Structure 1
């Protein structure tokens, strides 16, 4: 979709950028001033607005506002809201999603592929995710491929995807973000390069939780835990329930010798399925078993 809009003026540039950088409310507000859009641009605009609401946790609003007559991309976005809104919906959503993807009339829709990749990545079914995203087609699909490859610890494949993105548009916000993700995954001297990308974002755009977390993770990798803590507390002021901010604060607090229990409690309450919560619960169970065997 993004490629189609590039022939003329790109009316959705600011809206997309807000969304990519995690400024979800700004994306929603910005959409109100967009007029005279083509039918395709209108659908893309609505998809970005509803995905912003999903990112803010307003699942019910998205589910209620997208009706059965809506275009395929919007139906796909509704599926994501249903999937995230309740664990009980997951099986039904995945079953419907597979039916849609197998339908030759709509199976190749790029937003449907993007949502499918996102849902299967959540499920940690990376092979199934890549089946739908690997061919690319939009910058978002390439960026999602990079996230999937990094989850699989395949930075070599992620690097190939990044090269493709750089050939399309080296300065694109998603290319820069993907570059930072890869630099962090590779580590070493690359972490400083990732930090500079997030620093550049923070100078150009409004500070978001995504940018603050990006800078904070770089700081932690470089051993600057005090600076990381300051950035993360600023991110927490913006969104007290953001899972990545809370998870990063748990890690950061442990390194600076402070209690992490409050952040961990908040994370357990608001995001019980978070990877860090599962890891800590598993470690606690192992410890309890070991303690009982010794007692």
Structure 2
């Protein structure tokens, strides 16, 4: 869900927009505080830019797992855009706590918000709400409704020439890769490239599609990740992308170095830990190290799908072992 970020004033928000796409949340929060009104812009343009700045910064807090900050700061939010972001924070918090009833309530409220937002907002601003609500649906693994929602606004996004069109395409690519349709994701990316082939989100989507395709395309993914890393610096997202690509090529020593670098930046990142577990197994590392990573993952992300699957298999194994005793 971290491809999702809306923007109106590209010059003012370029750095933090790219930072959140790349998962550099601390930079977003730090740089966001220094972005002020532009005296050369109209008041309504400044208001729109500052609103988008706040939205991006709140998303960065969500990305860092600081859900309560967003929930508390937006307790009295009145705009549909900020309400949607608060719902996202509430959903992520409920998911982390394995609170299924709260998750269902948030999803229901987010869907209701779509109805009122479509009636009260301009088509361009409505897109921003759609993107956040679609992110909630994706996190809830409601891929078909999310895809339908995004497809339904693509024509509107194109007609309004809203920059949010890239985020819409990016989310569609994300869904198609999640449901193992890299062929369809590639078609979607071609449409995305006609909007802005050089945009960071377009480049990231291209890299993930290349990884999904495998084979010779992996080398292209490495090139894209390397170029982004050189341009914007190392981030946990880019380092993991590179590590996955290196593992696909059988370069597990190189992958491990990249993942340890990612760990030094964000030690509790679940994707880094999962990739380290996989990499360590291929390198035939000792079980003490592998179990340490698993324990850390279970502690920091107890409701991550990987952890749930692992615990389910562990329980099944234990039952089978007892039945054979």
TM-score, with structure 2 as normaliser = 0.85
Q: Post-superposition, which runs of at least 4 consecutive aligned residues in structure 1 deviate over 6 A?
A: none
Q: Match of 2:162?
A: none
**Aligned partner of 2:136 among 119, 141, 153:** 119
Q: Match of 1:218?
A: 245
1:157 deviation in Å?
Answer: 1.8
Q: Is the 8 A contact 2:6 2:56 kept in 1?
A: no
Equivalent pairs counted in the alignment come to 292
Q: 1:1-295 to 2 correspondence within 5 Å?
A: 4-5=8-9, 10-37=11-38, 38-86=46-94, 87-88=98-99, 89-103=102-116, 104-106=118-120, 109-134=126-151, 135-136=153-154, 137=157, 138-258=165-285, 259=287, 260-295=290-325
Determine the C-alpha separation between the residues in 1 that align with 2:52 and 2:241.
27
Determine the C-alpha separation between the residues in 1 that align with 2:7 and 2:28.
20
Query: Unpaired segments of 5 or more residues in structure 1?
Result: none
Q: Is the 8 A contact 2:7 2:17 kept in 1?
A: no
SS at match of 1:257: coil
1:133 deviation in Å?
Answer: 1.6
1:285 deviation in Å?
Answer: 2.7
SS at match of 1:11: helix
Determine the C-alpha separation between the residues in 2 that align with 1:221 and 1:277.
23
Higher relative contact order (CA 8 A, sep 6+): 2
Higher mean alpha-carbon deviation, 225-234 vs 130-139, is at 130-139
Q: Is the 8 A contact 1:43 1:73 kept in 2?
A: no
Determine the C-alpha separation between the residues in 2 that align with 1:110 and 1:195.
32
Alignment RMSD (CA, Å) = 1.8
SS at match of 1:223: coil
1:234 deviation in Å?
Answer: 0.8
- Cα separation, partners in 2 of 1:2 and 1:280, compared to 1, 3 Å: closer
Q: Is the 8 A contact 1:100 1:106 kept in 2?
A: no
SS at match of 2:68: helix
SS at match of 1:57: coil
Higher mean alpha-carbon deviation, 140-149 vs 129-138, is at 129-138
Give deviations 1:109-162, integer Å, cap 9, x for gaps: 222211211111111111111122223332112111111111111112211210
Give deviations 1:183-209, integer Å, cap 9, x for gaps: 111111111111111111111112111
Higher mean alpha-carbon deviation, 182-191 vs 269-278, is at 269-278
1:278 deviation in Å?
Answer: 2.1
1:4 deviation in Å?
Answer: 4.9
1:283 deviation in Å?
Answer: 2.2
